[in-house]
Structures are given as C-alpha cells and as structure tokens.
Structure 1
Amino acid sequence: METEIIIVLTIMSFTIFMLVTEIVRIDVTALITMLALSWSGILTTGEALAGFSSNAVVAMIAVMILGEGVARTGMMSRFSKWLLKRVGKKKSSVLGSLSLSVGTLSGVIQNIGAAALFLPSIMDIARRIKVSASVLIMPIGFAAIIGGTLTMVGSGHLILTNDLLANAGLDPYGLFAVTPVGVALLVAAILFFVLLGKYFLPQGSSEGAVDKTEQEKIMDAFSLKKDIRYFRVEPISALAEKTIEESGIWSRHGVNILALRDANETKYGPWRETVLQPGDIMALYGDTEKLNRYVQENNLTETHDETIFEGIDDPEEAGFVEVIVPPSSDLVGQSIREFSLRRRYAVEPIMLFSEGERVEDDFSDHKIRGGDTFIIYGPWRNIKELQNTDPFVVATTVTADVKDRSKTWQAAGSFLLAIGLAMSGFSISIAFLTGAVAMVLLNVLSIQEAYKSIEWKVVFLLVGLIPLGTAMQNSGTAQFLAENVMSLIEGSSLLVLLFTVAILSTGFSLVMSNVGAVVVLAPLVVGIGTIAGVDPRPLVLLAAVNAGNSFVLPTHQVNALMMSAGGYKTKDYFRAGGGMTLVFLVVSVLFFYYTFF
C-alpha cells in the first residue's frame, strides 16, 4: 500500500471520529482536516483551499441569502397556513405532506434549492402545531435529498451517469428511467419517519415538549386569550354613522376593537373618531358575555371569514406586548385620549396596571403616571415602530420578524430566476448567486442583511471537507478501496454484488462528492458486471442512486443547511441517518434486483 493512501485513510478515519464525537465543533474539525491534507503534502495549497471557490460552497451561501429573502416576505408563512388548513395539525400528516412536497420539487430542481425554499415554512409550521422543529427538519431534508432520484436530472451525479455510460459504449437512460425507484425510496422514507421517527429523531426538549413562546408566556401571565371574533355592521345597526367612541365600546361594554375593515383598507387599532359605516367589518376582543351584549344591542352579524384580517390572530404577524411608561416619558400626566395612542401607532390598549390596580374597562381619561404598564395588541410592524420611540419601554421580547409582503413578487421572481438559470445549463453556484444578487438589487433585503443570513459554521464545514474528497481521488485511495472490495465478492451471487455496489457508493458519498463517487465506481462496476455476466447499465445506475444515500454524516450540503436550523449534533445524524441509510439500501437494492435484472 502506498504511503499517500495510508496518510489519506488515517486523516479520513480521524475526521469521521471527530465528527461523530464532536470533541471540537464540526467546522473546526473540517478545517483541521483541510490543513492536515496540506501539511502532509497530499494536496497542494491551491487544492486544499479549493473549497472556498467550490460550486457547492458558493451555492450554499447564495441559497442562504435566497432563503432569508423569501422568509422576509412571509410567502412561506402563507403556504404554511394553506397547508395546515388542508391536512390539519396532526404531526404525521404535516410531516408526510411536507416531505412529499419538497421531495417532488427536488426531482426537477436542485435539492439544496428545494430545501432552502421550504425551510422557513417548516420552522413556521413547527411553531403553529407546537412541536419541536427538530422533529420535522431532518426528515424533510432527507426527502429533499431523495427527491433528487425522481428524475435523471434531479441531481448532478445522475446527470453525469448517462455521460459515463456513453463513455463505456452503453446506452443512456431516459429522463424518467429512475422515477419508479425514486418514488419507492421517497415513500419508504416518509413511512419510516411517520411510523418510527419517535425512536430515531431528537425530540427537542424533554419528552418532546416545546418551550413556550413569548406570546404564550405573556398570555399566561396576564390571563389573556386569543379569542378574536369578526362582526359586520349592518345598515340597520345602531352603530351605522357613529364614531367608535360614540358606540360605547369601551365606556359601557369594556370590549376592544383590534381592527376595522372598510371598503378600502384595514385599520389596526382604529382611532376613536373613526366613523363606522354599513358593511364595515370589526375584529373584536373581550369577555364573551360583554362582547355578546355589545353585539346584540347593536345588531351586528358575525362572520367567520378569516381572510378579512389575514394575520391578525397569527403570532407571527401580531400579538400582545407589555409596555412600561418610564418616569421621564413625555406621556406622564397625559391620558391615552390626549396622547392619541391609537392614531399615532395603530395599536389597541387592552389593559392597564397603575399603582397595583388592574384596569380592563375604559381607561381613556386615566392620567398616566411613571411606572404605569399597558398591555397592548397590534401588528408587529406597528409595535416595532412604537419600540423605537421615547414614550414607552417595550418589556416583551419581540422575536417575530416583520414581513414585507410588498416584496413577495420580487423575492419569488429572484428565486425562479435562479431555478430557471440552473435548469437551463448554468452551474448551480452561478444560478443561485444571480438570484441572491437580484434580491439585493430589488431591495428584498440589504447587502448587510444578506451577509448576516449566512451561517458561517455550515460554510466552513463544507470548505474543510471538500478537499478530503479531492485527496481520495487524487491519491488513488478511492480506487484502492473499490478494487479491493470488488475483488472480495468476485463470483458471489447477484444480490451480494448489488449490496456491495450500493454500500460502496454510500460510503464514498459520505467522504467525497456524489459526483466523485460515481466517477470512481462507474468504470469498476462496468468491469465487474461484464466479468460476472450481468448487465452493467443498471449496476451503474444503482451506484449513482446510492451516491445520494448521504444521511449518516452532515457532509451533504442539504444536511449541512438543516443542521443549524434543527439544532442537531452529528450523533443525531448518526442515529436517524443510520436508520434512513439502511432503509435506502434495502429498498434500492431489492427494487433493482426485482425490476432491472
């Protein structure tokens, strides 16, 4: 055995051990690996640092920017609501639907693009159905990887397969030749995580519990409820042509109006002098008995059309906050009426605490003192405006990002531009980087916000591990391993041959690129198939399919992207990915055994 091969095998073993044990952070391990390959003379300086300019790393950076831009518009949040309305909030239904969606999309676009597009939606849905995001993110990331096997253009290594077959004088495969096995693998993966996921996936906090959000904490602390009801002002209503204050909503009934929809626009925290017109829709909040009395006295008609006030009862769009009036505030000595809180900030004051007293009825004329505390409700964008002013100190942590829906088409167009360029023949890095720059130019996000969206831990993980794949190929280590393993099974049964090809391809894909694994294995597989009297075409295709069996380590770019979002450690991939790897091997080999041979 040559010295170079021994050195590469030693560095590879060290890398896998460090990634699994996480004695140091995985990105630090990756950088040590990169440096070790240069120190040992296996790679030149240029080869060791090639990861910084690699297609995968540039694409990863661009995809993170694109994902942030899409998330800022709330586009995927709206998709989350649409999906939950149709499949319900049962975890297995959500997991199955999302996995099927991202897997199918991954069959026609690059899997990293599909994963990035759905990641904001996955996070949003996890919050809505109150499960740990770690239960959803990994299975759906795996579905994105498997989706690359649905067509012969779903992933780079499958695209390359036909070229390798042509070089060997064999007929290429059609676009959908791999679709049956891809569908079988995707269905098997969904069933695996739906039925057995609780035994393999990290469940977040203890016993799968989900920590309370800031909204849930404030609602519990002040006995608030999120019971918002919608009512239409009829022509015969006593409220028609009256101002909101004249209706007695605060003074006589102790009810709050969170928003008003008229013929032209939606007004949050509408001003007290706003005149109500027939046809207006009111979003009301308050004690059920008081609210019913107000509705009956004024002949209001309840409506259940939630689209009228889209986002008003969504904790990602609006919510309760606690605000405190500091002693130095200009508000001290004024009343809510005099200050025109609703008119200035379009928020609704729900409750007041003053000198130990809790006031929930009309406190419009209460003279505000330093230390008074209000509970107000409104859209996050309005609350953030209030947060940046002097009269109040917002005591509640506002974690939700303000969504700018006006940029939806610009964000979607930039993403579609990236997908279109990738499908038309441009490299994935150039395609997605073009889309990312388009988002900046179209003001979806600023260049500083684009830089902040990059998860550098993931970037350096890929930068450090890419040279290991180069070393495996350049030193002949991959060829050495493949030849020795193949020699051991010469003369064995067809099933043993298929499992060996699949396992070799899987192993290589964990420490080198998927494309590299196929390039190394294809010539060997063709030779072994010819000697064994077996059609080499499906053997090469089996190797190519299993080059996508990259679940045990977070070395695949989709796994790297999902790792930080899900809060995973390498051992989580080792456990859940190990189970998925076995399912992938068994399903793919048996499918090929019974359908291709």
Structure 2
Amino acid sequence: MNGELIWVLCLLAVAVILFATGKIRMDAVALLVIVAFILSGTLTLEEAFSGFSDPNVILIAALFIIGDGLVRTGVATSMGAWLVKVAGNSETKMLVYLMVTVAGLGAFMSSTGVVAIFIPVVLSVATRMQTSPSRLMMPLSFAGLISGMMTLVATPPNMVINSELLRSGISGFGFFSVTPIGLVVLVLGVVYMLLMRFMLKGEKQDLLREGGKRSSFRDLIKAYHLTGRARRLAIRPGSPMVGQRLDDLKLRERYGANVIGVERWRRFRRVIVNVNGVSEFRARDVLLIDMSAAEVDLRQFCGEQMLEPMILRGEYFSEQALDVGMAEISLIPDSERVGKTVREMAFRTRYGLNIVGLKRDGVAMEGALVDEPLQVGDIMLVVGNWKQISQLAQTGRDFVVHNMPIEESDASPAHSQAPHAVFCLMLMVALMLTDEIPNPVAAIIACLMMAKFRCIDAASAYKAIHWPSVILIIGMMPFALALQKTGGIDLVVSGLIDIGGGRGPYFMLICLFIMCAIIGLFISNTATAVLMAPIALAAAKSMGVSPYPFAMMVAMAASAAFMTPVSSPVNTLVLGPGKYSFSDFVKIGVPFTVLVMVVCVVLIPVLFPF
C-alpha cells in the first residue's frame, strides 16, 4: 500500500465520518474533497472537476425539473386525491394503493419529492380512519426507495452505475432493464408491509395536519352558513347572457346572484377561470353562483337567462381546490376601506376575488353582503383564484389574510397545464426507449417542452434542482478516479477475490450487496454507488464474467437503504410524522434488506447471465 493510497483512504474515511456526523453539509464536504485532491496533487485540475462535465449530472438536474413540473401542474397531487378516493376507509387498500402509486410516480421523478407530497395525504387519511400514521409512513418511505428500482432514471445511483459502464467502453442498461427486479421487490414489499405493519404502533392522529388545527373548505362552508347557497348553472346557446359583461348584467341587484367562478372548456377539459366585472360570458359556460337572496325564484332566474341547473355535489369545492381558493380576511384598523361596502370599494374588480361570507362578533351574517358597511373586526370569507389570494396577502395595505385552509397546500400554480406535463413525461420516456437520443438530451427536450407549455418557469426550474445532491455527486466522482490511480480499487478487488473468488460469482454478488449495505449506513446511496461501481466492474473483469450482473447488484443494493432512518432522505422525512425511533427502522428494515438481497441474487443472474 503506497503513500498516495493511504492519503486517499484517509480522506475517504474523513468524508464518511463527516457525512455520518452531519456537522458539515454533505455538499460542502464534497467540495472540500475536490480541493484536497487538487492541492495534494493526487488528481489534476481536469480530473478533479471531471464530474461537472459528466452527462449524467445534467440528466439528474433535468429530472429534478421534470418532477417539479409534475408537482406544479397538480399531476402528483391529483394522484394523491385519487388514492384517498379509491382506498376509502380501508387501511389495507390504502397501504397497497399507496405503495404502488408512490413507486409508480417515483419511477419518473424524485422519490424524495414524491414522499414529501404524500406525507400530508397520509396524515389526512390517518385522521379520517382514526389510525396511527406510523402504520402507513414506513410503507410510504419503503415504496419511495423501491421506486428507484423501477426505471433507469428513477434514482441517481442507477445513472451513476450506467455512466460507469459507458465510461468503461461497455454498453449501458436500457430504460426498463431494472424494472422486472423492481416489480418483484415491490410485490414483496407490499406483502411484507401488510404482515409487519402491526409491529408499527403509535398514538392516533388527532390533528388535521402537522402544524396546527387548520380549517378545511368544509369547515369554512359550515361556519359561514354557505350550505345550499351555491349553484352550478350552464349558459345555453342563445342566452341573453352570451357576450355580455358581468357588471352590465347586474345579477346581484336583480337576482341576488353572485358569480364567483366560471367553468370553461380549455384544451379538452373544464377549468375554473376567475371572473371580474368586465368578464364576458360564452355559451356553454358553467356559472358557479352564490345565491345570497333566498327569496329569489331560481326557476324564474334560469328561465329568463336561459340557464340549465347542473349537479353540485357537497365535495365540489374540495375537488376544485387546485383551481379555486378560499381564505378568511379582515380589514387593517387604519384602512381607508373601513365603513365602505363591498360595492363601493369595487372589491371584485379591484382584487379579483368574491366575498361570500361575513362574520361580525363571531356570528355569520345572513343575506346579501354587497351593501353591508365593513367594520373593524369583521372577518370575511373570500373565494377566488389562489394566485389572487396570495397577492392580496402580499400587499397588506388594507386587508390581512389569515387562516388559510388546508387545501391551500394542494394548490398548483400550473394546474391547467397538467395534460401537457404528462405529455412531456411520456415524450421523454419514448425518446429514451428509442436509444437514438442520449438520455440527458431527451430529458432536456422534455424540460424545454414543459417550459413551452408553461408547466414550469425559469425561476421554478432553478429552484427545483436539489443542488446539494448534484454537488455531492460531482464531488464524490473524483474518489473513484483517485482510488483507481492509486491502486485502491485493485486492492479492494483482490481482497474480494481472495474472500469469494473461488466460491463463484453468486457469492461475489452477495459480497457486493453486503459491502453496499454497510457503506450505505454511513453515506448516501448515491455516494455508495459512485464508490462501488468501479469495484464491481473490476471484480467482474478479474473473474472473467459479464459486468452487467455485478453492476446491477450495486444499483439495487444502493436503493435498498431500508435499515436506518439516516440511510436515505425518504426515511428521514417520515421519521417525525411517523413518530418512529431508530430501532423501528432496524427491526423492520434489516429483515426486508435481507429479503431484497435474496431476490437480487436469484433474479439478476437470470436477467443478466454471467
């Protein structure tokens, strides 16, 4: 063992200790490693910064952006709403659907992002079913990890392994090469969690959401006595309302009807558009109306204006929470608006929102509110676009926005572009499957298409990239090169050959899995893949067998970070909401990791022969 190798191994040990203690950010540690390699002369400037030119780094960054596009357009949130709908009150159904949905979404976007999206969903479901969140949180994190085994681009370790194959002059894996293994592990994970969930005990969830008791749309509708006042009325062709502006129709004065939104067909789907005094109506628009004057004859109103009543279910507002917002507001004491009526201040025209409820001294007022002078201490319920509510909160000149409902966290700024986001995702997958276009280029094309369709914007795209993860990957890549230059990889490989070389490739697969699992206890799965990929390929070359089964074993082992809450960010995310201890992950995660190893040892050689 030469002096340079000892230096590299010492630097690696220091990095692992810093990763494990968490006293210094992991991305900062990675940058310090690059500096140390350059200053010590172990690597040249070009070699130390080679990670910045690696195409897979660009691919990983692009996938963060695509995942954010799915969030901004409400695709991921809609999946969560569908999950709650189909599972009902069955914990077993919820667990199965939850794991399958998360694994499916995580195959194309960040597993950390998917798990973060579903944490409030699981908390809400646990509250409704009067069960402990701990019985669903760990299945959620396990599904997030299993999603890394579903496609080539599902997790950075897969792309790191594929990049190492290409760097060695070997053809890489296909987009769905890992999928058969992932599907088997997913089925195994679902069955395992159904059997083991009873070991996850905890207190029942009492709060609606983490962070306090926040009202829901249903709570606000009940508190302001809005039940039965809302109507959905479709404008028939030939209606006198067609082509007319809202202010000119004077629906409030004539019928006590307050138009708070309009459903309109856009690109093959109905969306709710905001209305103000100059909004013009079209045939087949569906008006969402608050009928504050109870004495008005609805049949007469519909007959005179040629309107057709539509079904309005009790959960309508909750189902439209991606587009329609609600919030309680109050006047600032020294505001010029004190003493003025809603009509006098032209509230809808000025702010793009509708006041549909008013509380004075804690009591909800009945009847028309448009001519009621507003007083200090009044609390008003407004309905409208989430963006308009946010703008009202930011101005802070006359009104203060408070008590945002829990549905606010589900709002998506680009919800109307959801079909385009799905199209961009499918286009990326199709381009990757052709093998004619490099994966990073396919991902960039999908990002540009999402920008073209306004699924994302420049600011959100840059924010979506998890730069600490990107820098971590870039900073750890020189370790593999340094170990190769100083003979470290040859030393590890010779040790592995001495231990298991004579016992055949199957035993070597087990050794590789165990090494990855042990290293993964202290550093991220991405860094584990960076370190183990060249070792796996060198071991395959020494044994004279195909490199593919060894490379695939490292990829699968890197995703099998089930054993501790710090093995992966998705485990850390559910630690608090699930109220888990370190031992909970050990007693559930270690047996499952062993099962995954058995599946990989049996299945990988069948799919990728030695």
Match of 2:557 in 1: 549
Whole-Å Cα distance in 1 between the matches of residues 360 and 211 of structure 2?
27
Taking the TM superposition and a 5 Å limit, the aligned residue runs for 1:221-260 are 223=223, 245=252, 259=261
Superposed displacement of residue 321, structure 1: 1.5
Matches within 5 A, 1:467-506: 467-489=478-500, 491-492=502-503, 496-504=507-515
Distance 1:94 1:245, change over 3 A: same
- Report deviation, 1:380: 1.2
1:373 maps to 2:379 = yes
Tell me how far 1:406 sits from its aligned partner. 4.3
**Partner-residue secondary structure (3-state), 1:366:** coil
Shift of 1:487: 0.7
Provide the residue aligned with 2:245 in structure 1: none
Does the 8 Å CA contact 1:71/1:120 hold for their aligned counterparts?
Answer: no
- 1:324 and 1:214 map into 2 onto residues whose CA distance is 19
Question: Following TM superposition, by how much is the alpha carbon of 1:550 offset from its aligned partner in structure 2, in angstroms?
Answer: 0.9
1:193-592 equivalences under 5 Å are 193-196=193-196, 210-212=209-211, 215-216=214-215, 223=223, 245=252, 259=261, 303=311, 313-342=319-348, 345=351, 347-354=353-360, 359-387=365-393, 390-396=397-403, 401-423=411-433, 424-489=435-500, 491-492=502-503, 496-504=507-515, 510=525, 514=529, 517-522=532-537, 524-525=539-540, 527-528=542-543, 536=545, 541=549, 544-551=552-559, 581-591=593-603
Shift of residue 486 of structure 1? 2.3
Deviation of the 1:270 alpha carbon = 7.7
**135-144 vs 352-361, which moves further:** 352-361
From the superposition, tell whether residues 372 and 185 of structure 1 become closer, same or farther in structure 2 (CA, over 3 Å). closer
Asked if the contact 2:493/2:538 (under 8 Å) is kept, the reply is no
**Offset, 1:127:** 6.8
1:172-227 alpha-carbon deviations (Å, 9 max, x no partner):
999998765443223223334454468689x9999998415785289879946996
Alpha-carbon displacement from aligned partner over 1:128-171 (angstroms, at most 9, x marks no partner): 636879657633331221114899xx86747987999999xxxx
CA distance in 2, matches of 1:548, 1:190: 18
Name which of structure 1's ranges 559-568 and 579-588 shifts more when overlaid on structure 2: 559-568
Change in CA separation of 1:419 and 1:475 when aligned onto 2, cut-off 3 Å: farther
- Read off the aligned partner of 2:339 and give its amino acid letter: G
Deviation by residue 1:378-409 (Cα, 9 ceiling, x = unmatched): 33134235446654332345656552344445
CA distance change for structure 1 residues 451 and 371 in 2, over 3 Å: closer, same or farther?
Answer: same
CA distance in 2, matches of 1:551, 1:377: 45
CA distance in 2, matches of 1:233, 1:407: 25
The amino acid across from 1:59 in the alignment is L
449-458 vs 402-411, greater mean Cα deviation:
402-411
Give me the whole-angstrom Cα distance separating, in 2, the residues matched to 1:294 and 1:76: 42
- Residues 167-186 of structure 1 aligned to structure 2 (within 5 Å): 181-186=181-186
**SS class of match (2:475):** helix
TM value normalised by structure 1: 0.71
Deviation at 1:285, TM superposition (A): 7.9
Give the superposed CA RMSD: 5.6
| Secondary structure class of the residue paired with 2:100 | helix
Counterpart-to-counterpart distance in 1, 2:191 and 2:354: 47
Whether the aligned pair in 2 keeps the contact of 1:257 and 1:269 (CA below 8 Å) is: no
1:20/1:355 CA distance change after superposition, 3 Å: same
What is the SS of the residue equivalent to 1:30? Answer: helix
Distance 1:370 1:165, change over 3 A: closer
Amino acid at match of 1:584: V
Q: Which moved more, 1:436-445 or 1:21-30?
A: 436-445
Instruction: Please state whether the residue corresponding to 2:497 is helix, strand or coil.
Output: helix
Structure-2 change in CA distance of 1:282 and 1:266 (3 Å): same
Aligned to 1:363, the other structure's residue is in SS state coil
Does the residue aligned with 2:344 lie in a helix, a strand or coil?
A: helix
The Cα of 1:315 is off from its aligned counterpart by: 4.3
Distance 2:225 2:584 in 1: 40
For 2:113 and 2:334, the matched residues in 1 are separated by 47
| C-alpha spacing 1:462/1:420, structure 2 compared with 1 (3 Å) | same
Structure-2 separation of matches of 1:56 and 1:294: 65
For structure 2, list consecutive stretches of 5 or more residues without a partner in the other structure: 128-132, 242-248, 303-307
- How many residues of Structure 1 are paired with residues of Structure 2 in the alignment? 562
Structure 2 CA distance, aligned partners of 1:228 and 1:56? 56
Distance 1:572 1:483, change over 3 A: farther
Q: Which runs of 5+ in 1 are unaligned?
A: 251-255, 531-535
State the alpha-carbon separation in 1 of the partners of residues 76 and 514 from structure 2: 37
Superposition deviation, residue 584 in structure 1: 1.9
Q: How far off its partner does 1:105 sit?
A: 7.6
User: What amino acid is the match of 1:53?
Assistant: S
Counterpart among 139, 143, 155 of residue 140 in structure 1: 143
Q: Provide the C-alpha distance between the structure 2 equivalents of 1:24 and 1:550, rounded to a whole number of angstroms.
A: 23
Identity of aligned residues (%): 19
Matched residue SS, 2:374: coil
Query: Deviation of residue 374 (structure 1)?
Result: 1.5
- Cα distance in structure 1, aligned partners of 2:381 and 2:551: 61
Q: Taking structure 1 as reference, are residues 161 and 408 closer, same or farther at Cα in structure 2, changes over 3 Å only? A: same
Identify the range of structure 1 (58-67 vs 292-301) with the bigger mean alpha-carbon deviation.
Answer: 292-301
Going from structure 1 to structure 2, the CA distance change for 1:520 and 1:231 (only over 3 Å counts) comes to same
Distance in 1 between residues matched to 2:39 and 2:137, nearest whole Å: 38
How far apart, CA to CA, are the structure 1 residues paired with 2:177 and 2:477?
A: 30
Shift in alpha-carbon separation, 1:354–1:113, aligned structure 2, 3 A: closer
Is the 1:473–1:479 contact (alpha carbons within 8 Å) kept by the matching residues of 2? Answer: yes
Q: 1:384 to 1:178 in 2, by over 3 A?
A: closer
Residue 125 (structure 2) aligns with: 129
In structure 2, relative to structure 1, the CA distance for the partners of 1:504 and 1:176 (3 Å cut) is same
